[in-house]
Structure 1
Amino acid sequence: MTVPTRQRSGGRSEQVRLAVGRAVLELLSEERFPFTTVEVAERAEVNRRTLYRWWPTHDDLLAEALTQHARTVVVPDTGSWAGDLRAFAHRVAAFAADPVDLTMTRIMVSGRHPGFNDAVAAHFAPIMQDWHQMLERAVARGEAGTTHDATTVMTTLVSPLFLAPLTSGRAPGPGYVDRLVDLVLDATRPTR
């Protein structure tokens, strides 16, 4: 699953890419999956031949949309582990409650579209590495210990943030997010 490289940025190609990504995200936010290429072409106001040439599979269309969607969870670098973790957790909480992400989570949980699950997992693998760097920076500054690996720490933090809107239909409140962050900060405190 690769998104074809365009020669020019900012021109018509970039406009088409953005329109296609938005169209797929809109369909996902409306819980329209699987969607058809015709639906994407109509929403994006793009010729179907263009879609088939640049995005030959549904996985390619999904990858384009995920690239635009995942940009909203930027890994912070506030200079402190507590600051990074708190800012990140609040960003993830908002991201996980977004209608697009709620639909994606529901699709993944259903188990009916393993190809979709694989595409999402592949897309987020390098993003998870960025998330791990927060802990690596904290360990290097002496603000976090090495008792727990980065995958365990990040999974402990983000899993409840994704689960809460799935079960309640809304983002967890700021107090909940802060208590979760405090729990992770306690668990990662360096041992002396």
Structure 2
Amino acid sequence: MTEKRASIGARRNPETEAAVLDAATEILAEKGISGVTMEAVAKRARAGKATLYRWWPTRGALLMAVYRRRKQEICHPDTGTLEGDVKAVLESLFDHWSRPEGRVFRHIIAASQSDDDLREALEDYRLERLAHLGEIFERAAQRGTLSDDVPAQEMARAVMGMAWLHLLVGRLDADAAGIARTLVRGWVRPS
């Protein structure tokens, strides 16, 4: 029998956490999302299933942790214009998703269609990212350049929706500047 990793109590053991996320990543690469079960990950990581469930209460939460671990933080630089900010966000996302992380995230989105736990984890992640994306619209509002015709939250949803669509249809080579220009055309106050 394989020896399990030592627990350090209620705190996460960084070595065990890394082993679990490594194991889940390897299984994902080998067998796809359906192969990533809590039992398979625990066995490969030499960790107890109870540990996995304590740290990631669902398989969806574990899969999102795998993605988050590999995901760089997408920063939203202040370029001075809403169009420039949206362009910078799209370029950063498209660049990030052109790596293996994009494939992982596409799998998560696809599998969430039939997996309630994963759908819930994805929705939590989407709302978190949406709030973060809203920062660029808050900046535009503070600069006085944002139109009052469309709520800022809906603008953020449109940018996110456009980005996710490009990921799902494999168009990460799209012209981010052109998309940004088209999206923000009606969102800025005329000069």
TM-score (norm 1): 0.74
Partner of 1:101: 105
Q: Which range moved further: 58-67 or 136-145? A: 58-67
Kindly report which structure 2 residues correspond to 1:1-192, keeping only aligned pairs within 5 A, or say none: 7=11, 13-28=13-28, 31-33=32-34, 35-43=36-44, 45-49=45-49, 50-69=51-70, 71-80=71-80, 81-97=82-98, 98-108=102-112, 111-167=113-169, 170-175=170-175, 177-191=176-190
User: Could you tell me whether the CA contact under 8 Å between 1:27 and 1:33 is conserved in 2?
Assistant: no
Give the number of equivalent residue pairs: 177
User: Could you tell me whether the CA contact under 8 Å between 1:28 and 1:104 is conserved in 2?
Assistant: no
Structure with max Cα Rg = 2
Question: How much is the aligned-residue C-alpha RMSD, in angstroms?
Answer: 2.9
User: Could you tell me whether the CA contact under 8 Å between 2:23 and 2:41 is conserved in 1?
Assistant: yes
CA distance in 1, matches of 2:161, 2:61: 26
Percent identity, aligned pairs only, is: 19
Q: 1:20 to 1:150 in 2, by over 3 A?
A: farther
Cα deviation for residue 89 of structure 1 reads 0.9
Q: Which range moved further: 144-153 or 13-22? A: 13-22
| 3-state SS in 2 of match to 1:188 | coil
Ranges in structure 2 where 5+ consecutive residues have no aligned partner: 1-8
Q: 1:182 to 1:56 in 2, by over 3 A?
A: closer
CA distance in 2, matches of 1:93, 1:72: 12
Q: 1:84 to 1:100 in 2, by over 3 A?
A: same
CA distance in 2, matches of 1:20, 1:7: 15
Cα deviation for residue 130 of structure 1 reads 1.1
Cα deviation for residue 191 of structure 1 reads 4.2
User: Could you tell me whether the CA contact under 8 Å between 1:21 and 1:64 is conserved in 2?
Assistant: yes
Q: Which range moved further: 154-163 or 58-67? A: 58-67
Q: 1:83 to 1:18 in 2, by over 3 A?
A: farther
Q: Given residue 137 of structure 1, which amino acid in structure 2 is its aligned partner?
A: R
Q: 1:46 to 1:138 in 2, by over 3 A?
A: farther
